[in-house]
Amino acid sequence: MTGRHAAPPSAPAGPGAIPPVQAADGLHPLLLRQLARLGLTADHPPEPGPDAGFGAQQWRELLTRISVAYTDADNDRYTLERSIDVSGCEMAELYEKLRTREAFTRAIVESAGDALITTDETGVLTSFNPAAERLFGWTADEACGQSSGVLLPDGERQRLEAIVGERLAGGTHAELSLELTARHRDGTRLYLLTSVSVWAADTGLFTTIVARDISAQKTFQERLRYQAGHDALTGLPNRARFHELLDAELARARGIGADIALLFCDLDRFKLINDSLGHDVGDAVLVNAADRFRAAIRPGDLVARLSGDEFVILCPGIMGTTEARLIGESIVAAFSVPFHLGEYDVVVSVSVGVVTSDTSASGEELLRKSDLAMYSAKRGGRARVHVYEADMVSTVTTRMEIENGLRAALRDGGLLLHYQPIVSTGDGVVRKVEALVRWDRPGHGVVLPATFLPVADEAGLAPAVDRWVLETACGEAASWPHDVTVSVNLSDRLLSQPGVVDLVTGVLERTGLRAQRLGIEVTEHLLGADMPQAVGALRQLQSLGVGVYLDDFGTEYSSLARLRQLDFDVLKIDRSFVMDLADPSSRIIVASVIRMARALGLETVAEGVDTQEQYDTLAELGCDAIQGYLLAEPLPADVLRGHLGRQGPAGHCPRAAPGNDHHRGKSTSGC
C-alpha cells in the first residue's frame, strides 16, 4: 500500500520520546490485540450478518484503514511529545543564557568606572552603582529612594529638565550628552560629563544617567583660563583680560549713560632699581605696588598690570575729571612711603595719566590717551598726575622724532662735546673742565641736552649716550696739559649695569688717559635710590684713582645724611643757592656747606656763577673753584685746547648769556 494506507515511517527518536510501534502484517499491534480479545483474526472475518457482501476482502480493507488511523494517532502523539520535550530544553537553555547575561550585566554595572544611576517616573533614585557611591559619597541603600535633587542643585536640575523637554518634543525617547554641575554629599561641587537616556511614560519620565567626574579637568581648564587672563606675579588682570573688561564696562556705561575714567600708571625709575638691586627685588616692588594700587582706589575700581612696570586702573561711574584726578593723587601719595624689602628701603614714585570719557570713545583710544597723559607726567618731573589734553598727541610725535633722530646720531655720528672750564678762585687757573654733550640735529642745528636727554632716558638710550661721552671726552682730554681733569656725567642706569668698572678702565687704556685725570659726576638721587651696584662701582673706580664728584648738592632731601655713603672728592654746590647769595639765608647755607666740605676734605665747586658779585662772595666764603658763564661758556675741544695753552686770568674767559644747559639736563647757567 501506498499513501495514507502505507505503514507509517519510524519517527526519529528525540530526548525522552517513545519510539513508534512498527505494525505487524501491516496492521497496528493494538488492533491485533483487540481482534484477539474478540476472537477474531485478520484473515477470517466474522460471520456474515443479515446483509450479504461482507467478505474477507472487505474485512481486510476495514482493518487496514483502522490500522492506519492508529498509526496516525501514534505519530501525532510522538510528534507532540517530542515537541514538548524539545521546547523544554530550549527554554532551559534560554533561561540559562538570560541568567548568565543578567550576571554579566550586573558585573559590568558593578565594576564600571562611571557612575550609573536610574530614576523612576517620579524622579526617585532606583539604582546606584559602586562608582556612583564613590563619586557622590552616598551608599546605594542611602541614595535609592531619595529624590534626584540630592545629587543635582535646583538650578541644574531645572536646566536638565528643560533640555530633556526640548529633546523629547512629543516623542517617547531621547538621548543627550552634556556637562552637569552636581554636588557631593559633603557639599563639594562636582563637574560631570553625562550621557542621559530618557523614556517617557504616561506617569512620568524614566531616566538613566551615566556620569563621569571631570572636576579635575574643569579645575585645570579654569586655572588655564585664569592664567591666560591674569599676571602670574601680581595676580592682577593682564592686558588681554583688561581689554575684555574695559570693553564690557564701556558697553554697560553706554547703556546707563555713565562716564568712566582710565588712570595709566608707570613706576618711576623702575628699570634702574631692577638693574641695580636685582630682579628679585624688582619683583617684590611690583607685588607691593599692586597692593598699594588696590588700597588707594575706590571699591569697584579695577587694577590691571599691562606689562613691566605699567599698570592701569579702570574707574566706572566717575564724577568727572576732578574725581579722577583725586584718585590719581591718592595713588601718588600712596607711593611716597618707602617699600621695606628685607635689607632695602626702596622709594619708588609713580607717574599717572588720566583720561575721562563719555563712553563714546573706544577702549583702545582711551588707553592710548591715558598713556600719553602719563608720559606728560613723566616729562613734567615724575611723581605727579596729568590729565589728557589734545596737544599731547603732537608732543608725543615730537618725542618719537627726537628718539628716532637720536638713535641715528648714535649710529651714524651726530653727537659732539663742549667743555666748560672750572676755574680755581685762588689763582684763576683752569685745572678741571666738565664735558657737556650736544646734538647736531639735521634741520635743527645744535640742540642742547635739555631737549633730548630726557627722551634718551625714557627710551633707554641714556647708557649709550654715556658711553659715547666717556669715550670721546677721555680721547680728547688725552691731548690736553697733564694737570687738567675732565669730568663726565654718568647716568644711574649706566652705573648700575654690571661691567661698568671694566667699561671705564677699558676706555682709559684705549685713550691713554690716566685715571687721576677723570672725574665722574653723580647726583644725590643715586644715593637716595639705594643702588649698591652703582655705589660699589664708584668705590672701585675711586680705588683706581678716578675722582667722584657730587653734583647739584643740596637739591635732594636729607643730603647731609647720605653724604657719608661715598668718600667724594668734589662737592658741587647747586646754582639754586648761588643765584640767591644776596639773600642772607642762602649765604649762610653756602658758607655752612663750604665749611663742612673743608672739614671732610672735599673740594668745593660753585655752579652757575653769572655775576661778579657772586664770584666775589664765593671767593670770600672760601669756595675752591667756580663754574659759570661769568668765566667761560662751554667750548669746543679745539677752542678749549687753545685756551688751556694760554691759561690767562679768569676774567679773560669768554662770556655768554645765561641759559639752560647740562649733560644730564639740569637747570644751570653753566654750560
Domain boundary residue among 218, 250, 285? Answer: 218
Residue 289 lies in a domain: yes
282 with 338, same domain: the answer is: yes
> Given this model, what pLDDT does residue 110 score?
66
Say if residues 120 and 105 touch (Cβ distance below 8 Å). no
When pLDDT is averaged across residues 18-24 and rounded to a whole number, the result is 44
When pLDDT is averaged across residues 16-27 and rounded to a whole number, the result is 51
**Lowest-pLDDT choice from 77-86, 326-335, 571-580, 618-627:** 77-86
Q: Which domain holds residue 43?
A: 14-90
**Lowest-pLDDT choice from 120-134, 272-286, 325-339, 643-657:** 643-657
* pLDDT tens sequence across 266-303: 999 888 788 778 888 899 999 999 999 999 999 999 99
642 with 574, same domain: the answer is: yes
- In 10 A of CB 320, how many CB atoms? 10
Residue 663 lies in a domain: no
Domain boundary residue among 75, 90, 105? Answer: 90
Residue 444 lies in a domain: yes
When pLDDT is averaged across residues 18-23 and rounded to a whole number, the result is 43
Residue 95 lies in a domain: no
Residue 658 has pLDDT above 50, yes or no: no
514 with 429, same domain: the answer is: yes
209 with 298, same domain: the answer is: no
Read off the CATH number of the domain in which 277 is found: 3.30.70.270
> Given this model, what pLDDT does residue 49 score?
55
When pLDDT is cut at 50, 70 and 90, the band that residue 95 belongs to is low
> Given this model, what pLDDT does residue 278 score?
83
Residue 1 lies in a domain: no
Residue 538 lies in a domain: yes
> Given this model, what pLDDT does residue 556 score?
57
Read off the CATH number of the domain in which 581 is found: 3.20.20.450
> Given this model, what pLDDT does residue 16 score?
42
When pLDDT is averaged across residues 166-181 and rounded to a whole number, the result is 84
634 with 513, same domain: the answer is: yes
* The three grid cell numbers given for residue 272, joined into one nine-digit string: 634702574
Name the burial class of residue 232, with classes exposed (0-12), middle (13-18) and buried (19+) by CB atoms within 10 angstroms of its CB: exposed
Residue 9 has pLDDT above 50, yes or no: no
When pLDDT is cut at 50, 70 and 90, the band that residue 669 belongs to is very low
Share of the chain above pLDDT 70, in %: 84
Residue 243 lies in a domain: yes
Residue 510 lies in a domain: yes
Say if residues 491 and 462 touch (Cβ distance below 8 Å). yes
* pLDDT tens sequence across 44-58: 777 765 555 567 777
Residue 652 has pLDDT above 50, yes or no: no
> How many structural domains compose the chain?
4
When pLDDT is averaged across residues 244-272 and rounded to a whole number, the result is 91
> Given this model, what pLDDT does residue 112 score?
65
544 with 432, same domain: the answer is: yes
* pLDDT tens sequence across 321-380: 999 999 999 999 999 999 988 888 888 999 999 999 866 788 899 999 999 999 889 888
The residue that leads in pLDDT, 300 or 391, is: 300
404 with 385, same domain: the answer is: no
480 with 594, same domain: the answer is: yes
212 with 234, same domain: the answer is: no
Domain boundary residue among 338, 355, 389? Answer: 389
379 with 435, same domain: the answer is: no
267 with 374, same domain: the answer is: yes
What does pLDDT average to over the chain? Answer: 83
> Given this model, what pLDDT does residue 542 score?
94
pTM of the predicted protein model: 0.55
Helix pair 279-296, 270-277: axis angle to 10 deg: 140
Q: Which of 331, 237, 333, 232 is nearest to 283 (CA)?
A: 232
74 with 155, same domain: the answer is: no
Q: How far apart are CA 123 and CA 149, in angstroms?
A: 8
